[in-house]
Structure 1
Amino acid sequence: MHHRPDQTAIDAEAAAWLARLQGHGLDDGIEQALQAWLSQDPRHRDAFGRACEIWDLLPGAADHAIWHEAQAYAPAVPMNVPAPASAPASAGAGNVFTRPALVMAAALIILLLLTPIAAMRDPRYETATGETRVVRLDDGSRITLNTNSLVAVDYAPKERRVRLLRGEALFEVSKDSRRPFIVAHEGGLVRALGTAFVVRDDPQQVSVTLIEGRVEVTRDAPDARKGAVRIAILSPGERITVTPKAGAVVDHPSLNIITAWRKGEVMFDDTRLIDAASEYNRYIRGTEIVVDPSVASLSLSGVFTTRDPMQFAETVAALHNIQVRQLGNEIHISR
């Protein structure tokens, strides 16, 4: 019975093969041996592809801190690493690894075993329902995530890009005219230099509110070959809301209302009760506020903590002389 190597051993072999190519180049003997190894098991090809992808992501690997850590592992690696037993022998292939190649192999092994590729490419930051989180980026910029939100950061030498994959976030951007700061969301982009703005991605609309500075808002063109189409350059205090049906609408909301969530609050100003309850439900888990159609159009103004849905419902009931009932996980507001 043949022993079936585990994934750790396969990852190590893949890293060693890449080191061999770096150390000796690809002559006929090495190419034949490598192809033989790749064809032995689909996992070999996957592991080798991951090793190559990781190395491509680290063009300056020799300067990376992990190289210094790998130095501690390199002396323990045998200096003669034979080709796989089933691979054809070749005098041109050579079995001797140079020490730099061994160090690189050790670094790749460490990366393969400990670092997911996705995390290297675009680190992600997330909040659960009811949570907020502040993320400080390498350039000094700061992202504050609202409830149930997700962003992916992809910084490059000429561009700082963040993808808002879900929810809402406040971006406070450090100035760097050589590297524009771009927030990508469903259907468009927000470009800024040094500024602060909020982007909110709801199921039926996306809104961008500028707090200070200057931003350009674009959306994807119907014809992908034409690139993005500018729809607005915002001034402080302006908000643009983009929907599939109504297009883009610019207004001037209260910035205190827009950013109240940073203090664990929601703020309403002459808001329909049905809309206020929907907004409040964004921040609570395990409970839902249900508004009866008979009271849905009542107006609500005020500031409420996001941590106590029953207090919110009882305050609304007291303001309008209506009823509140707890039914399981639902809080019903009705006549």
Structure 2
Amino acid sequence: MTGKDDAVIQDHVQKRILKEAADWLILLQEDPQDHALHAQFDEWLNQNPHHGQAWQSIQKTAGLMACIPPQPDSDWQKYLDQSRASRTENAPEQQNAIVDARSRFTRKKASRLRKYVLVGAAIAATLVTAVMAPDLITRIQADYRTGSGEIETISLADGSQVVLAPETAIRVKFEARKRHVTLLNGEAFFEVTHNPDRPFQVRSDAVNVTVLGTGFDVSDNIGSTTVSVAHGLVQVDNMRVQPAISELLKSGQSARVGWAGGVKRHDVSKGDIAPWRRNQLIAQDQPLGEVVDQLRRYYSGKIVVTSNELSMHPVTGVYNLHNPVAALRGIARAHNAIVREITPWLLVVSPS
């Protein structure tokens, strides 16, 4: 394992922890008197010293921005009036639209909506370096990309086709003797045109997939890459680790290769490979947290799981991605959990 591998994994971990800290800020501001919620937060805070560092960073940034009153019982109405007055001087179209929408609600509902909007704006600002900056880099690097809930089929110059799952980005580089695609993030299914003199390669971080002509799926996970073969033959390598990983996969086989080492192989039926192309999510003893990660690609807001123990529950089932919220509620019911819609942009999954 190289220093670069360590840096990649650490970067992913830091981003995940910062997002979790921001989610907790929203939840605690929303329901400051919920003792069970505070107990769950304390459990999260004490799990890892990095959690405390991320929490301090989120609080400091939000405080400097003066976007969140310091006490739960602060005068929100006075704060909102002041904030609206400051925005009116040079408010962009999006902010004007929000102000207009508020007038269509009762005073109580409008006040609550304004609170959500402002808290969401504060959290978005704290995540600029953790979320927006990497996303901007991906936008610059990508030749093709999809947004939330969007599936797109791309025809490449050699006749090969790539189906992009939601929130996926790829970079394409074809040379005289090699065809190369980089999966920047997300998941994609490849149907590769046969050309033995011009190998087709797909790279996902440390993992390289080499084919001559086949159909296969590549998924970029946190710290690993999963490759599943529908037909044909592929070579999956990770040369950054010692000992190096080199796996030959044929039709009906799948492997999850860690960027820092380790590989798990298993058989998979053809119908279970990239089921998202049919707007299906198929889980077989998969941790609930990973299943929720897949649902996030189809939901325009945020989904937060408040319990690490719940995130590890094994999920098995087939779910309709046309309605990710209904799928999430179905998964939660099967595990004695509940889904709360805190705002139109935030779903919270917690033990019942």
- TM category, shorter: 0.5 to 0.7
Any idea what SS the aligned residue of 1:206 has?
strand
Q: Which of structures 1 and 2 has the bigger CA Rg? A: 1
The reply to whether residue 283 of structure 1 matches residue 302 of structure 2 is no
Counterpart pick for 1:274 among 289, 304, 312 = 289
The reply to whether residue 330 of structure 1 matches residue 344 of structure 2 is no
Cα contact 1:265–1:305 (8 A) shared by 2: yes
Cα contact 1:231–1:248 (8 A) shared by 2: no
The reply to whether residue 235 of structure 1 matches residue 254 of structure 2 is no
Q: TM-score, normalised by structure 1?
A: 0.56
Distance in 2 between the 1:150 and 1:246 partners?
24
The reply to whether residue 135 of structure 1 matches residue 151 of structure 2 is no
Deviation sequence 1:162-196 (CA, Å, 0-9, x none): 12122211110111111111112211321111101
Higher helix share: 2
Tell me what 2:273 maps to: 258
Deviation sequence 1:102-135 (CA, Å, 0-9, x none): xxxxxxxxxxxxxxxxxxxx97111112211100
Any idea what SS the aligned residue of 1:270 has?
strand
Classify 1:272/1:160 alpha carbon distance in 2 versus 1 (closer, same or farther; 3 Å).
closer
Pick 1 or 2: higher relative contact order, CA cutoff 8 A, min separation 6.
Answer: 2
Number of residue-to-residue matches in the alignment: 210
Distance in 1 between the 2:199 and 2:244 partners?
17
Offset of 1:230 from its aligned partner?
Answer: 6.0
Classify 1:152/1:272 alpha carbon distance in 2 versus 1 (closer, same or farther; 3 Å).
closer
The reply to whether residue 210 of structure 1 matches residue 229 of structure 2 is yes
Distance in 1 between the 2:214 and 2:224 partners?
23
Tell me what 2:205 maps to: 186
Give the gaps of 5 or more residues in structure 2.
1-140
Any idea what SS the aligned residue of 1:278 has?
helix
Cα contact 1:326–1:332 (8 A) shared by 2: no
- Which of structure 1's runs of 4+ aligned residues deviate more than 6 A? none
- Bigger shift: 243-252 or 162-171? 243-252
Offset of 1:292 from its aligned partner?
Answer: 3.7
Classify 1:305/1:333 alpha carbon distance in 2 versus 1 (closer, same or farther; 3 Å).
farther
Give the gaps of 5 or more residues in structure 1.
1-121
Classify 1:246/1:190 alpha carbon distance in 2 versus 1 (closer, same or farther; 3 Å).
closer
Deviation sequence 1:16-75 (CA, Å, 0-9, x none): xxxxxxxxxxxxxxxxxxxxxxxxxxxxxxxxxxxxxxxxxxxxxxxxxxxxxxxxxxxx
Cα contact 1:257–1:268 (8 A) shared by 2: no
Offset of 1:221 from its aligned partner?
Answer: 4.2
Offset of 1:140 from its aligned partner?
Answer: 1.4
